[in-house]
Structure formats: C-alpha cells, structure tokens
Structure 1
Amino acid sequence: MTHGLGVHSEVGRLRQAIVHRPGLELSRLTPANCRDLLFDDVLWTERAQEEHDVFAGVLRDAGVTVHHFGELFAETLKSAEARAFVLDRVCTDHALGPALARSVRALAADLGPADLAELMIGGITKADVSPLSLHSLRWASLQLDEFVLPPLPNTLFQRDNSAWVYGGVTVNPMAMPARRRETVHSRAVYRYHPLFAGAAFSTYYGDDDADHQPATLEGGDVHVLGRGAVLVGMGERTTPMAVEILARQLFRQGAARVVVAVELPRSHAFMHLDTVMTMVDTDTFVRYPYLDPASLRPWVVTPADPDEVLERGDAGLHVERRDDLVDTLAEVLGLDRVRVLTADEDERAAQREQWDDADNFLAVAPGVVVGYERNVVTNTMLADAGIRVLPIPGEELGRGRGGARCMTCPIQRDGI
C-alpha cells in the first residue's frame, strides 16, 4: 500500500477521491445557455443529485474515502487569505468592470463560507448583487436574471481541472473559457485546505497566474498507468505543448520515467481519452469498438540524453513515433501483452453506449470498476471477461456527457 497523497496507477486500490455533488450551478442551465456552458441538455437537478448520492455511496462501500468538492471549497473559504486569493482572481476589473467588481467583493464579504462557495460555483446574477452598482455600465446593461458571474456546472467533472500523477498534481489550464475559473477554486483548495496545506506533494503545472493558452491540459486525458508510466491523450482539450511541459516536469522531479502521448480524433464525442478508452485491470483496457486503432497515433516521450540536450539545445525530451498503441502500452508496463476489450455490437448500438460513457470506467481496485448501469452490452462484455462492474444510475448524470471516471478526482491510489 502507498501511504499519503498521490496516485500511483489507474487501477490500484482507490483510497481517497474528490467528487462534486451538483447543486445551484446545474439548476441554472437553460436551453439558451447550456451549449455555452458545454452541456448538451438541461438536466433535472434533483434527480442528478439523487444519482450522485448513489454514486458516492458505491465508492464508500468500496472502501473509498469520499470528499465533496463543495464542502472542501467552503472549508477553504473560512480562511481570509484563501478568500482573498479567490476573489483577487475572479472579481477583476477586466472580468466584471471596476464598479461591479467592487460590488461583488462587497457581496462576498457579507457571506459565510458555504454561501460564498455556492455562489462561486453556482454563479451570481444581477439580482444577487446589491444595487450599489447602479453606476456600473456593466450593471446597467444586464437584465435582472443575467449572470454577473456565470455558473460552473462542469465542476461536476472533478477529473478535469486537476489531476494527480504519482506524488504530485497538475492544476490544469482548461481549454474552454467556460471552465477556466474551476482551476482557481482547485488552486485555493490545494493551497489552503487543511487536508492539503500541510501535505508534501509536488505541483507540476498550472498553479500560477500565467496565461498558459494554448498549452491546455485536462485530467480526462491524463492516465497514470503505473510503474512510472503516464498515458496522455491529445485531442480537443489537451495540446502537445502541454504534454511536453508536463513530461519535462515529471522527468525533472523523477516522478515518471516515460510518457506516452496519443493523438485522438478531433470530435466532441471523443473530447478526452477516457471517453474512448480506460484501464480496468493491471493488464486490461476497454476501448470503443468502432474507433480505428490505427487512428490513435502514439509517441513515446522519455528524458533526453544529457549529451543530446547540450548538443541540440532542446527541452530535455526524446520523442519517438510508434506504430501501435497496444504494443506500446505493453512495453511501458513491462508486460508481454495487454488485453483490449471491445463490446460486440453493431455500430449504431456502440455509438449510443459510447455517447452514454460506456468506456468511461473508474477502477476502485484491480478488475473492479464503476460505470453506468444503462450500458448493458459493455458491462456484460466486461463481466464475461472477468471484470466486476459496480453499476450506478445515470439517467440524468449521463446527460452531462461524463461517466464515473469523469466525475472523480483520485487523490490517493495504490500502485500496481
């Protein structure tokens, strides 16, 4: 068993994880704004909360200590320093206008930590702010129910805005503007919450105020395979530049020995690597059956030889193109072969299950995974292959286009 914070594999025993129970932010989705907020539909908040409670219960029953992000954030905001850290980065003149920024900070000063956390995640409307802002042009131009500060409904998907990799964490610069404020919240939690403030861990990327665009990185693309190997998808949300930066930091700190970068199709349906492939056992992956394996182009990134660095003046990385992702995974894991399971179903049925996150499994132990119960064909296929699926409801949660892995940020997991 690995002690302390850190994620040392994809499938080792999961000890602690962060999830977010949906709340005010989900109830503020409308048909008019859901696309801008990266949702395909308007969810029924109360039912989504019920389903999320079942999900958290399944994790606890599997021995996982579950931390709710909303509670962590509220506890963080008890600190005046943490509160200032967040407001300094959210209530800026550029984001709100000078007068309205002052009014939102005044509103924040009058709120307790739990109420402030709810509004920071759930969004602030014109109606929430005192009319002291009447001299604000931004205020004057807004309708009463329009957002001064937009909600963050994608907080539900805790996997993406930070990712733990072996003994450290990346606090991820997000690709889409609708999600970038999430990173500020996570930075505050990791800096100031007692669970993390006294802990020893590295921060590889993102915990600063730099403009990282376009070197974006999201946790759905980051897979800690174990044994010093990391797999990172490059698609709609994670760029090669960010993979290079992450690899360089991992190598500099001795946290990993190899990073496998894999190119993904540019498609909303395949926005992250974990929407098409996840690791479910020490030697087993599950993959969407109608994705041509040849389209997943892999590169192996390793530390460059010091002599090569001096000669070429590069960033200290050696990049080698490979032909076959499956063979590459076996190589970096030190195995003769790995199994890649795919459901036996027609293309239309496969597309339906993939859209419902059929391959987005969260391992809680080797060969034991959590996934939506509605994906019957994929779940049955896994059971026949010796993988135990712990089913969770997803009639509403699944409409957010994220499965069990998307909704979970592991912070302590054993190696393999």
Structure 2
Amino acid sequence: MSQLYVGSEVGKLKRVMLHRPERALNHLTPSNYKDLLFDDVLAVERAGEEHDEFAKTLRGEGVEVLLLHDLLAETLAIPEAKNWLLDMQVGEYRLGYQFAQDVRGYLQTLSDEELAQILLGGLSYIDFPLQSPSMMQAMHERTDFIIDPLPNHLFTRDTSCWVYGGVSLNPMAKPARQRETNHLRAIYRWHPTFASSSFHTYLGEEQRDYDNAMVEGGDVLVIGNGAVLVGMSERTTPQGVEALARSLFKHGQAKEVIAINLPKHRSCMHLDTVMTHMDLDTFSVYPEVMRKDLQCWRLADAGKGDVKVTEVDYFLHAIEKALNIPQLNIITTGGDSFEAEREQWNDANNVLTVRPGVVIGYEGNVYTNEKYDKAGIKVLPIPGDQLGRGRGGARCMSCPIEREGL
C-alpha cells in the first residue's frame, strides 16, 4: 500500500502535487505583478502548455501527478470543508459583515469547480454580479479584488512540504501567499486521499499566529538518513527552523536539522534556488552564494522537548557527516561568471530529482545542463520561458508526497 512519506530528495519519486497556472495568471497585470511576487506578466496559454510538458515528463517517469485544482474542487464537495474554507477566506473581518454575507451567498450558488477557480484565481468587483447594500462596492474600483488571486500557488513546494512521515503546513512569509495554506489545510484534513491516511502534522494544523516563525518549503531539503537541510532565507526565519525542528523531534521523524544562514535577497529566495540534491552523493550548487563562510548550525534532539544547537564550521562537512559520505560531489552552475549568474536566476540549480541521477530542469539553461550531463547526471529538459518568470524551477513547482528514502 502506498503511503504519504518522503524519505529523501533523490529516492524514486512516486507521487507529487502540481498546480497548473490558470485564472490567477489572467489576473496578473503590469500594475500588480510586483505585489503578487512575480517579476513580469506571463503569457497564460504558453505557461499552461509548458506546465503540461512538466506534468507529462513526470508521468513518463512513472510518477503519479495530483493537481491542486482538482484536489480543492473535490474537497469543496464535502460540506464541512466548504464551510470551513469560506469562513477562512470570506470572513466578516476581511470583507465586513454585510459584504461577507453577500459574497458568501453568491459563492454558495457556484459549483465546486467554479468555486475552486475563484478561491485559487481571485474574484474582482467587476465579476461580482450582485449589488450589495454595504459600502464596499462604492469604495472600490471595479478592477480591485474581493478575493485576491494566488498565482504563487504554482509553486506547490512552498506552501506545504512533506518531511519523512509527516507534513508541515507552512506559515508563509509574504501576505500574497498566506491564504494558500488554508487550501492545503482543508485538502489534507478532508480530501479522501489524505483523510484516510495516517501522517504527522509538524506545523500549521491549527489556525494560529506564528508571528516571526516562518517556513517555506523551498528552503527545506529532506536529504535522507534522518537529516533535514534548511536554508534561513528571506522567507524562512531561525524561529521557523527551530519550531519545525522541535516538531520533527517530538514526532520522532528526524535526527538532526542542518540550518544554513543565506543572504536575504530575491536571487536566492530559497535554498533550492542555489542548491539541490541530485544523486546520493551529488549536489548542484551556485558557488557565488553557497560560500564556505556561511554560518551553519546543527540542531539535534536533546530530549524532554529540548533542542541542542551547535555551530558547525562548514555546511558541506555537516552534510557529509549526516549522510555518512566521505566527500560530496559538487556540480557548480555552468558557464562563465556572467552566464552562471543568468542561469542561476533562471533556475538552473532548481532541479527536481525523479530518481538517483535523473533530474528535470529548464531546457534553456544550456551551460549548466551540459555540465550536469558531463558529470553523469541525466537532465530531462522542459520548456520554461514563461514559467521561469515566477522565479521558480521544477523543484519549486512540485510538492512530493510520496518518495523513497536513500
């Protein structure tokens, strides 16, 4: 029987969750793309075609692909789940009591499929067919959003991440992404695929204010052998790492967490934009960021709910020790310094390993892909001219929910 378990970054990938870009990208415009954390508007139809190629490549490798949109629509068919989600997404303190009632009344008339489209893709005032007695419509432009679109749902890696025998429903750093977690919270609680399974929940099972404890899945690498590698980036804080580590240890799901202090800028938004695990002993690394002088700590279970924190001299040495490997094989970003910087920006290091030594990456990163090939790593190329504009590659766009260990 298959189970919800992710034992590594490189073991055979069996099941994964993706989100095909759709309505939310139609709502991405030159006036709002920065607020929605994109670098540009995307050609929506082309982005969808590129994503279809990604899903096709995964299925060709024997990976079961679950689509977030379908999971959400199927979850909304359960009345308790629909009521909970509407309470979370269309509450009276978000929209005002009267307008929330009117919006909710309208949403209740929609099919589960239509409601999923709106929760994922947004609802503008121009698309709201009712006239409410509240002040809200009169005080907003017709192109303002009643429900904001969530184009970053494309990057399913971040909102929730499976670590060994459980999942972290992540407290997201940016307001533009915080509503995403409610969708995953509902899916994991009520959808039959998950409701009938047994798994741990590390963070986010309950609706609470995590304050400064933020985690995003792009910073979390399940490197195997009971170890987890986490980057402290612009999106993941030390408080979040400690909270995740404590929960992993509490549930007996990890032996150690290796935490690396990353520069806090967009070009290395998450650890997986500058470092990914490609084979048992092989990592892809962007050396301009992943320098030897980065601060690094090892967090271990000290018992009785306590965590022992020890600073270590070099993150690669910490990884070698955790994996019991004498020396790691490091493949750096390809090309000269200018080409390497461009390819890192275009997600050359953000590859998804489908089995040891076989990865999916954007076809446009020719210098780095050639370097992978010469090092014995097989690259399954996918188009990414549009998808890459969201600053995320194959790893970012995938949430493994079943993968073998080392």
TM range (shorter): over 0.9
Q: How does 1:217-236 map to 2 (within 5 A)?
A: 217-236=215-234
Deviating runs (4+, > 3 A) in structure 1?
Answer: none
Are the equivalent residues in 2 in contact too, given 1:289–1:350 (CA < 8 A)?
no
Indicate the residue corresponding to 1:403 in structure 2.
393
> 2 CA distance for matches of 1:131 and 1:60?
43
- Aligned counterpart for 2:242 among listed residues 241, 244, 255: 244
Partner of 2:264: 266
Equivalent residues in 2 for 1:266-415, closer than 5 Å: 266-304=264-302, 316-415=306-405
Alignment of 1:3-402 (within 5 A): 3-133=2-132, 135-304=133-302, 316-402=306-392
C-alpha contact 1:215 1:239 (8 A) present in aligned 2: yes
The 3 A distance-change label for structure 1 pair 138 and 340 is same
Match for 1:130: what amino acid?
P
Number of residue pairs the alignment of both structures matches: 406
Paired with 1:297 and 1:71, the residues of 2 have a C-alpha distance of 42
1: distance between equivalents of 2:286 and 2:218?
A: 16
- How far 1:145 sits from its partner (Å)? 2.0
Alpha-carbon distance, 1:132 to partner: 3.4
Offset, 1:108: 1.3
Query: Structure 2 vs 1, CA of residues 54 and 289 (structure 1 numbering), >3 Å: closer, same or farther?
Result: same
Q: Which amino acid aligns with 2:12?
A: R
Question: What letter is aligned with 1:207?
Answer: E
AA matched with 1:81:
E
- 8 A Cα contact 2:333 2:344, kept in partner: no
Q: 2: distance between equivalents of 1:297 and 1:338?
A: 19
2-side partners of 1:173 and 1:344: how far apart?
A: 34
Residue identity matched to 1:185: H
The Cα offsets for residues 282-318 of structure 1, whole Å up to 9 and x where unpaired, read as 1100011322512432100001155xxxxxxxx5000
Kindly provide the amino acid, as one letter, of the partner of residue 342 in structure 1. T
Task: Tell me the distance in 1 between the aligned counterparts of 2:113 and 2:205.
Answer: 24
SS in 2 for 1:39: coil
CA distance in 2, matches of 1:186, 1:336: 39
Partner-residue secondary structure (3-state), 1:415: coil
Residues 103 and 130 of structure 1 are in contact (CA less than 8 Å); yes or no, is this contact kept in structure 2? no
2:218 & 2:290 partners in 1: Cα distance?
Answer: 20
1:138 Cα offset (Å): 2.0
CA deviation after TM superposition for structure 1 residue 99, in Å: 1.6
Deviations 1:157-179 (A, max 9, x none): 00000000000000011000000
Aligned-partner Cα distance in 2 for 1:11–1:127: 47
Contact in 2 for aligned 1:290/1:347 (Cα 8 Å): no
Q: Percent identity?
A: 50
- In structure 1, stretches of 5+ residues that fail to align are 307-314
SS in 2 for 1:293: coil
Given that 2:293 and 2:314 are in contact with CA atoms closer than 8 Å, whether structure 1 keeps it comes out as: no
Tell me which amino acid in the other structure corresponds to 2:106.
L
Quick one: distance in 1 between partners of 2:91 and 2:254?
38
Q: Secondary structure at the match of 2:277?
A: strand
Q: How many Å separate the matches in 2 of 1:34 and 1:303?
A: 42
Q: Quote the offset at 1:3 in angstroms.
A: 4.1
CA distance in 1, matches of 2:374, 2:111: 51
Deviation track 1:226-284 (CA, whole Å, cap 9, x = no partner) reads 11000011010001111111111111111000100111101111110000000000110
**Alpha-carbon shift at residue 128 of structure 1 (Å):** 2.5
Out of 355-364 and 338-347, give the one that drifted further: 338-347
CA displacement, residues 19-67 of structure 1 (integer Å, 9 cap, x when unaligned): 0001000111000000000001000000000000000000000110000
- TM-score (ref. length: structure 1): 0.96
* Distance of 1:97 and 1:124 partners within structure 2: 16
Give CA deviations for 1:62-116 in whole Å, capped at 9, x if unaligned: 1100001001100110011110110111111221121211111111110000000
Report the more deviating stretch, 166-175 or 92-101. 92-101
Match for 2:249: what amino acid? F
Determine if contact 1:103/1:129 at 8 Å carries over to the other structure.
no
Instruction: Tell me the distance in 2 between the aligned counterparts of 1:90 and 1:278.
Output: 34
Q: Alpha carbons of 1:265 and 1:295: their partners in 2 closer, same or farther (altered >3 Å)?
A: farther
TM-score, normalised to structure 2, is 0.98
TM-aligned CA distance change 1:227 to 1:101, over 3 Å = same
Tell me, what secondary structure is at the counterpart of 2:84?
helix
CA distance in 2, matches of 1:69, 1:256: 27
Mind listing any 5+ residue stretches in structure 2 that lack a counterpart? none
Alignment partner of 1:205: what SS? coil
For residues 75 and 305 of structure 1, the distance between their equivalents in structure 2, rounded to whole angstroms, comes to 41
Q: Residue 136 of structure 2 aligns to a residue in which SS?
A: helix
Q: Which amino acid aligns with 2:367?
A: V
For the 8 Å contact 2:333–2:348, the answer to whether it is kept is no
